[in-house]
A and B are shown apart, each in its own frame.
Chain A
Amino acid sequence: NAGVMQNPRHLVRRRGQEARLRCSPMKGHSHVYWYRQLPEEGLKFMVYLQKENIIDESGMPKERFSAEFPKEGPSILRIQQVVRGDSAAYFCASSDREAEAFFGQGTRLTVV
Chain B
Amino acid sequence: GESVGLHLPTLSVQEGDNSIINCAYSNSASDYFIWYKQESGKGPQFIIDIRSNMDKRQGQRVTVLLNKTVKHLSLQIAATQPGDSAVYFCAENSGSARQLTFGSGTQLTVLP
- The residues of A with any CB-CB pair to B shorter than 8 Å are 4, 6, 31, 33, 35, 40-45, 48, 55-56, 58-59, 91, 98-106
Contact = CB atoms under 8 A, between A and B. Distances in A.
Contact of A102 (B42, B46, B49): B46
A59 B79 CA distance: 38
Given A102-B46, A103-B43, A103-B45, A56 B102 contact: no
7 contacts: A43-B44, A45-B99, A56-B99, A58-B99, A99-B32, A103-B36, A106-B43
B34 interface: yes
Contacts, number: 61
Contact of A104 (B32, B43, B100): B43
Contact of B103 (A40, A42, A45, A106): A42
Interface string B40-53: 01111110010000
Interface string B83-98: 0000001010100011
